[in-house]
Amino acid sequence: MIKIGISSCFMYPDKERTVFGHKSLSYLENDMARYLTRKGVLPVLIPDVADELLEDILIEMDGFVFQGGVDLAPETYGEKPIGKWKGDAYRDQYELKIMDYAVKNSKPVFAICRGMQLMNVYFGGTLYQDTITQNPNAENHRSAELYDTIRHPIDFVEGTLLDKLYNGVENPHVNTVHHQAVKDLGNDLEVYATSPDGLIEAFGYIKEPEGKVFGVQWHPEFSPTLGAAVINEDLLYEAFLKHTR
């Protein structure tokens, strides 16, 4: 069985929370769980444990998925906060350890939304802390109310992975649920797709075969909400799984 390690989302102690209010929680969003689970694939939520124990777990994984969630902390990519967007520096460091293990050990990586932003930072890139205020050309890519019911067109870079996967698809669209975005592209990353306003929507690591280490800015696990109005999410996962077998 293929074992896919999934980086945890975190909730921290909150005395107003009735259940486990004084404790930290690690969790996996349910749509992500359904997206990654299929015959012969075992999703494994990677716990937040001491480094010497963490590595023993990572060794057992055949590939890694980095899920979405809260912003990255500006300090993680060498900046000071420009406003209220403080991010989650603790989760950043937890996930960067996993990313470092995966890349250095040539393990497949599929990075989604925050995960793609984390990958960009791992390879030396930076982010817009607040895309709307820092990039005058950017559209609003997130609505807390409409969430995964909004979408936009996407442009694939000719000859790259996504252009090949979705060859023949007319007027492709993806959902959009992100606040931050790639500003400076990291080292050894190749852009796979952009949005009409010029933001980077997907990229891959050029020192591994196409589809082995890549990220997308949208949420393929949320695609069932819009159905045929967005591109087929399974093609992305299958491209990743091919390298885990």
Q: Hey, which residues are catalytic here?
A: 113, 219, 221
Say whether 213 sits in a helix, a strand or coil.
strand
Beta-strand relationship, 200-205 and 189-194: antiparallel
DSSP-assigned beta bridge partners for residue 205? 189
**Other C-beta atoms within 10 Å of 84: how many?**
7
Distance from C-alpha of 150 to C-alpha of 236, rounded to nearest angstrom = 20
* Non-local CB neighbours of 184 within 8 Å, separated by 6+ positions: 125, 126
Total residue length of the chain: 245
Q: Judging by beta carbons within 10 Å of its beta carbon (0-12, 13-18, 19+), is residue 230 exposed, middle or buried?
A: buried
Tokens of 111: 């990075």
Q: What is the DSSP letter of 194?
A: E
Q: List helix spans (H) across the chain.
A: 30-36, 51-59, 89-104, 114-122, 131-134, 161-165, 234-241
Strands (E) located in the chain:
2-7, 9-11, 25-27, 41-46, 63-66, 109-112, 127-128, 151-153, 155-156, 173-175, 181-182, 189-194, 200-205, 213-216
